[in-house]
Amino acid sequence: MKKLLAVVLGAVVLAMPVGCKSEPKPAAAKEPEKPLTYEDSVSGSVSAKVKAVDPATRTITLQNDKGQEESFVVDKGVKRLEEVKPGDSIKLDYKAILTGELRPATAEEKEHPIAIVGMTGKAPTTSAPAAGAGRGMRIVTTVEAVDVPNMRVTLRGPLGDLAVVKGKKAENVKKLKVGDTIVVTYVDAAAVSVVKGK
């Protein structure tokens, strides 16, 4: 768990863009100040052709577009394996989002500085087999040290682990102070679908 936390902490680090400046609004119309925030994401899609399915051993053999084959044992949680046939295509769509907010933790975040959530879903039996799953992790971290000349920031996670990360923008690193809280959230999701062969 500590290695995972260190990876997540290192990934977010301080690429938080500086907010846009605007003319000050009258006191009555003043909105709450938004926290310094960073967000990054990656998404993609991969597909492979089904070469063989063995329902007895729950093994499926897939072939990529370069002709390379690989076999996998399908989890017993997959209920409609018998509907997947050679010639079908399996498509995997994925997305991962990482955000970091320089702000005080909420009461809930203070009580639970590490929160993990998950979700799953599946297609109805009236459509082609498909399923999706997602998970997320929120971690409350504290700035332990700021080294502006070297653009390095030391973050302490809720388990006491330290991660030294390199900042991306000097103007953002200069805004950090020892004791500041950075709330890091990582969410990823994947959807698998079967495209029936002709």
- The domain of 138 spans 2-44+92-195
Establish if 58 belongs to a structural domain: no
The residues, any chain, with a CB within 8 Å of residue 8's CB and separated by 6 or more, are 98, 137, 139, 184, 186
Q: How far apart are CA 48 and CA 67, in angstroms?
A: 10
DSSP H helical segments within 1-67, as ranges? 2-12
Establish if 59 belongs to a structural domain: no
Establish if 136 belongs to a structural domain: yes
Establish if 80 belongs to a structural domain: no
Q: What does the pLDDT look like over 26-84, one tens digit per residue?
A: 555 555 567 778 788 899 999 999 999 999 999 999 999 999 999 999 888 888 888 89
Number of domains in the chain: 1
User: Can you give the pTM of this predicted structure?
Assistant: 0.61
